[in-house]
C-alpha cells in the first residue's frame, strides 16, 4: 500500500475498509438517535437516517459523488480482482419501505460508536436532542466496505432548516388507506346501511 492510499483508506483486522469523509446533500432526518444510542444495534450506536428527494436533480449529482467514493473503496479493496455481489447498497430506495416520508426518496443510515458532533447553520455546537425527524440536515460521513456492502460512519450533523415537517417513525398510516371515490356514500348513508336501516343498535 503506497503512502497516498494509507492516508485515504484504512483496513482493519476484520477486512473492513474505511474511506475518506464526504459531505451528504441536504436531506430530511428521520429515526434520529443522536442524543442517545440506538439499542437495536449491537453494540448500541448513535445513528440517523437521511432522506433525499428523488426529483432533485442537483441532489442526484451529489449522491453520485458519494457512490463514486464507494466505487473507489471497492476498487481499492479488490484491486482488479473479482468483486462479490453485495446485499447492502450504499444508497437505498425509500420506495421499498412503508415508513413515513420514505416514498419518493433515496436514503442512507449513518452510525457511530460515539456521540457525533452536532452543529447549527453557523457551525456552533447544538444539543443533539434538538434534531427532530423531518428537519433538514446534512452530515459528514465516511463509507465503510464490509462483507455485505457499504455502510456509512457518522462524524458530524449540521442543522440546515426546520420547515415544521415531522416524521414519527414506523409505518406510514396513510399507506393503509385507499383514495376515497367520488361516488362513495355520505357518512349518514353509510351508517344507515351498516345498521340495516335502523337508527340505533339493539344492545345485547
Q: Is the dihedral of CA 155, 113, 26, 146 positive or negative?
A: positive
Burial class (CB in 10 A: 0-12, 13-18, 19+), 32: buried
Predicted confidence (pLDDT) per residue in 105-135, tens digit: 999 999 999 999 999 999 999 999 999 999 9
Q: Give pLDDT, residue 186.
A: 55
Write the CA distances from 6 to 3, 11, 75, integer angstroms: 5, 9, 15
Name the pTM for this structure. Answer: 0.79
Q: Which CATH number fits domain 3-172: 1.10.3720.10, 2.40.50.140, 3.90.1150.10, 3.40.50.10160?
A: 2.40.50.140
Amino acid at each position: 500500500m503506497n503512502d497516498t492510499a494509507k492516508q485515504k483508506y484504512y483496513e482493519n483486522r476484520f477486512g473492513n475498509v474505511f474511506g475518506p469523509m464526504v459531505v451528504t446533500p441536504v436531506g430530511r432526518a428521520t429515526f434520529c438517535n443522536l442524543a442517545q444510542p440506538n439499542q437495536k444495534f449491537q453494540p448500541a450506536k448513535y445513528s440517523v437516517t437521511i432522506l433525499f428527494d428523488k426529483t432533485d436533480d442537483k441532489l442526484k449529482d451529489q449522491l453520485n459523488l458519494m457512490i463514486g467514493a464507494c466505487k473507489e473503496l471497492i476498487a481499492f479493496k479488490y484491486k482488479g480482482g473479482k468483486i462479490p455481489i453485495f446485499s447492502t447498497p450504499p444508497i437505498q430506495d425509500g420506495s421499498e419501505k412503508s415508513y413515513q416520508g420514505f416514498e419518493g426518496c433515496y436514503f442512507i443510515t449513518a452510525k457511530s460508536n460515539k456521540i457525533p458532533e452536532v452543529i447549527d447553520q453557523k457551525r456552533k455546537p447544538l444539543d443533539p436532542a434538538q434534531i427532530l425527524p423531518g428537519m433538514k440536515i446534512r452530515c459528514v460521513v465516511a463509507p465503510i466496505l464490509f462483507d455485505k456492502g457499504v455502510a456509512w460512519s457518522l462524524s458530524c450533523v449540521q442543522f440546515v432548516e426546520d420547515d415544521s415537517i415531522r416524521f414519527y417513525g414506523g409505518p406510514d398510516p396513510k399507506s393503509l388507506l385507499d383514495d376515497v371515490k367520488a361516488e362513495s356514500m355520505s357518512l349518514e348513508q353509510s351508517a344507515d346501511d351498516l345498521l340495516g336501516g335502523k337508527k340505533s343498535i339493539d344492545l345485547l
